[in-house]
Structure 1
């Protein structure tokens, strides 16, 4: 088990059956809880439950029984969880534990409404609130994915809710009674598809005392490379309304890859960390994995950075060094010249590659996972100022017409990269997390090399490290 073809070895995936969006992310007493959209009876999307897994380090996961099942009000769609420390809800029954409250969408036939459930034993057992739903549907078809947090300065719980192609905000003193506050987004950002899975968080701007609010919104379809994607807005929130700093036409993508969606942050954490579903609705039901479908991204730390007069969302992977085998390669200086390709053997597709750019005269630098007949190209194009991930010849690509792709991300400068490879996925972090691409691929071969190639000039790297990563499955 957990050794099946394509199974990622240090990312969370369910033992079996279908999974999509992360839900109810909450940290409590040393445990990171990850709930998720789950269909326990099939490997394709179906009646939604909340699956449940916990971790002490965000790397090793223990799968727990299904937390929430569909009922007479409908399926259990996406939502969030909080620790109600002050028992504002009155749902606490334990002297030893704070009450954990899940806020989720009940999805009935053409009717979505918001409900809650609660646990007094660290999320092990759940009781649905007798007064559900706590927010009735106001006549909107897509009315879902509540993300809730305690807003200290206004002294109330705030809910961000996806409503068609805008976000509505609600407030509550107790998680049970909710009042509409405001709406944002009709005229802002991308509107190529329905808005989903919002999150509203406050982050520090790197190397300043400044803090800004970030509104995260997943959108499907409408991504820059097709299908599912996460966009975000930078601005301010006063407890009632969100005000965006950027022009209405400005679009900011969190990840230009095809396979990062529905990402939200853990609540009750001092350090902001989020995780996303590594798939795309264009082909999620067809990916060639068995007996499970879908996997979560590496958890990523979040902050903001001013770059070219813009405030950008920065993502860096959690520290994986405790999973390193002995470094396979450490190179203080590596120069790649057009006349000679550098090749490094990979024992398996579980590696973390890091390098800093010292000098770059090459018009194009490619980093390729190379098999005998298949390859995954990553191309850093200095002339076109973009990065391309080419998976058209990366192994099994025939399961969906949407899967073989060359995906592009703008890149105005190139100073470093971190590449995480895990069996059937890559996560590429460029310029210390300023630009990110996440992509699935399904290799058919057993033996791979990592090939470094330059065109029209040489490129020199420093601090090149390649670390093999241990499996986190027992």
Structure 2
């Protein structure tokens, strides 16, 4: 064994493979020792910053136990390459400099012989390096939406505003572009548009992976971690789901794990704690998703450590087809009135109105212990949706946002196909940041309004097209979209259907890809058809038509604001009465917009098209 350890790391010792058949020649700084058909040791020179691990996405996860000086440091799961290398992911070695580092790798796919196992592509492709290239290699990486530099991202969580900085934490896999190894990734921004990427914030420990949760400022030191500490509560997920506490004294850069974890345990699956200070009752409240029971549990606490269960909400209400996840609860004013109501967000998967995951919400009253939902005229609690596209999920708000703002952001994908979309270096983006409000519709019900955050205006570059009035009839009226940055743009327009006929707004390219958006004033609907939008064959669930109510009154004019990025389109009614978020993967950028009103006439008024800056370049 001693002789094997002393072999040259570059495997240049003559006859090494013959003398020690378990040794595989690898790159400088790496030695591979096979112990059996599915167990291998990878010895690493810890003098470099990273070990780059080769990934093949179609392969199964290998269990990679990182052993430092003979002690288990961490366990991660990586789809190590078998027949080809799709990309590399980095394992940081910076904390292990001068120590002995060994990966004890267990693969899930057994081989008949060690000789066969040695043929896997990964064993000769491990690389130690002082750099890891995160420059973009993706055609469909958004130009103005937040994305991880590499790896998988899903739910935003732990979002908090402090000292002029918006902190965005998110579910993150730093070891591949499919779901696994859940940690809290971290980005921050001073303007909600330009994001700075930071090291991992909270990683898995002996209690499990780090699932979603929330963060708050504790100005009065109720938890005992110091005034203005950022305190976070998240789900530790292993054999069971339990709730764990952490805090940061350096403005959210690093976190200390509370030694008294877990702080909440239940006899059934529960996750995604969302906590907030309730000024009316002088204590903390917490919502916890009782996922499989389709309800939200409501807790209260004086100190963020000791929680008392007050009530449960949701049994038999709203959409019940999927698990309930990622709750949020906050108070908003109803536009044009002095009335205030509470909005309870409940993300659900599956069971969305167009299949897969979506965000529903309830309007009602909250007394610090119990949430009481509003009912319709027939005495029922109506099901309401925050966004009417297929790609809007896990939406929650920033705590402690300035000026009493209720600012939210969502995950821009759908669990039906999130792991199969045609990107590989990274997967998933966030929606644009949005502001929440409430309005009362003609049916007497109160609904959420959703508009882009005011900072989004900073994305505008040049006004490339402006028309005060265009007539739309049977023959499409075409306008070119900007060529800058692959055609990304913001489009503002008013649709006036003079005879009440459906009006089509179509985005298209020279390859025959198109998205058809239709306003139907007689039905008060807005539809979005992406069945021919470009690349759609990666999932049978991706081609779809989504439909939003426009909440129109007698005025037949619909005012829209449309954001086109390289792989997404977000549509907002100008006053926020509906929002619609859909991914698209055109084979070439959409380069024109056209308007038509088959069977009638319509006017397109106040058309403005802005090019948009590429902030992710």
SS in structure 2 at match of 1:368: strand
Q: Tell me: CA distance 1:322–1:410, structure 2 relative to 1, closer, same or farther (3 Å).
A: closer
Structure 2 equivalent of residue 312 of structure 1: 447
Query: Aligned match of 2:498 in 344, 347, 360?
Result: 360
> Is the 1:16–1:292 Cα contact (8 Å) retained in structure 2?
yes
> Take 1:13 and 1:145, find their aligned partners in 2: how far apart are those partners?
21
Deviation at 1:473, TM superposition (A): 2.6
Deviation at 1:383, TM superposition (A): 4.0
**Consecutive aligned runs of 4 or more in structure 1 exceeding 4 Å deviation:** none
Query: Aligned match of 2:261 in 127, 132, 149?
Result: 132
Q: Matched residue pairs, number?
A: 467
Structure 2 equivalent of residue 473 of structure 1: 616
Deviation at 1:338, TM superposition (A): 2.2
The TM-score with structure 2 as length reference comes to: 0.74
Is 2:593 the partner of 1:450? yes
Structure 2 equivalent of residue 262 of structure 1: 394
Deviations 1:366-416 (A, max 9, x none): 111111221111122234432221111111111111111122223352521
Query: Aligned match of 2:545 in 395, 406, 416?
Result: 406
Deviation at 1:238, TM superposition (A): 0.5
Is 2:468 the partner of 1:332? yes
> Take 1:427 and 1:65, find their aligned partners in 2: how far apart are those partners?
30
> Take 1:329 and 1:448, find their aligned partners in 2: how far apart are those partners?
13
> Is the 1:355–1:417 Cα contact (8 Å) retained in structure 2?
yes
SS in structure 2 at match of 1:404: coil
Is 2:233 the partner of 1:103? yes
Deviation at 1:446, TM superposition (A): 4.1
Query: Aligned match of 2:356 in 227, 244, 256?
Result: 227
Query: Aligned match of 1:240 in 369, 375, 388?
Result: 369
Higher mean C-alpha deviation, range 1-10 or range 296-305: 1-10
Deviation at 1:358, TM superposition (A): 4.2
Query: Aligned match of 1:381 in 511, 520, 533?
Result: 520
Higher mean C-alpha deviation, range 163-172 or range 317-326: 317-326
Deviations 1:402-455 (A, max 9, x none): 111122223352521111111110111125211111000111114621111111
Deviation at 1:325, TM superposition (A): 1.5
Is 2:406 the partner of 1:277? no
> Take 1:27 and 1:248, find their aligned partners in 2: how far apart are those partners?
37
Structure 2 equivalent of residue 114 of structure 1: 243
- The 5 A counterparts of 1:161-240 are 161-164=288-291, 165-240=294-369
**Bigger strand fraction:** 1
Q: Tell me: CA distance 1:447–1:382, structure 2 relative to 1, closer, same or farther (3 Å).
A: closer
Structure 1 equivalent of residue 152 of structure 2: 18
- For structure 1, the 5+ residue unaligned runs are none
Query: Aligned match of 1:158 in 270, 285, 292?
Result: 285
Deviations 1:324-361 (A, max 9, x none): 12201122222212234233233133111111234532
SS in structure 2 at match of 1:321: helix
> Take 2:530 and 2:346, find their aligned partners in 1: how far apart are those partners?
27
Is 2:479 the partner of 1:351? no
Deviations 1:29-87 (A, max 9, x none): 01000000001001000021000000000000000000011111011000000000000
> Is the 1:85–1:99 Cα contact (8 Å) retained in structure 2?
yes
> Take 1:39 and 1:3, find their aligned partners in 2: how far apart are those partners?
18
> Take 1:279 and 1:122, find their aligned partners in 2: how far apart are those partners?
29
Deviations 1:295-326 (A, max 9, x none): 00000011000111111100000232222122
The TM-score with structure 1 as length reference comes to: 0.96
Structure 2 equivalent of residue 424 of structure 1: 567
Deviations 1:5-52 (A, max 9, x none): 011111100000000000001000010000000010010000210000
- For structure 2, the 5+ residue unaligned runs are 1-134
Structure 2 equivalent of residue 370 of structure 1: 508
Q: Tell me: CA distance 1:181–1:168, structure 2 relative to 1, closer, same or farther (3 Å).
A: same
Structure 1 equivalent of residue 41 of structure 2: none
Query: Aligned match of 1:321 in 445, 454, 457?
Result: 457
Query: Aligned match of 2:193 in 59, 71, 74?
Result: 59
> Is the 1:81–1:102 Cα contact (8 Å) retained in structure 2?
yes
> Is the 2:478–2:592 Cα contact (8 Å) retained in structure 1?
no
Deviations 1:270-297 (A, max 9, x none): 2110000000000001011130000000
**Bigger helix fraction:** 2
Deviation at 1:466, TM superposition (A): 0.8
- The 5 A counterparts of 1:21-40 are 21-40=155-174
> Take 1:340 and 1:89, find their aligned partners in 2: how far apart are those partners?
63
Structure 1 equivalent of residue 216 of structure 2: 82
> Is the 1:162–1:196 Cα contact (8 Å) retained in structure 2?
yes
> Is the 1:362–1:454 Cα contact (8 Å) retained in structure 2?
no
> Take 1:157 and 1:2, find their aligned partners in 2: how far apart are those partners?
42
SS in structure 2 at match of 1:89: coil
SS in structure 2 at match of 1:322: helix
SS in structure 2 at match of 1:45: coil
SS in structure 2 at match of 1:338: coil
SS in structure 1 at match of 2:235: strand
> Is the 2:344–2:361 Cα contact (8 Å) retained in structure 1?
yes
Max radius of gyration: which structure? 2
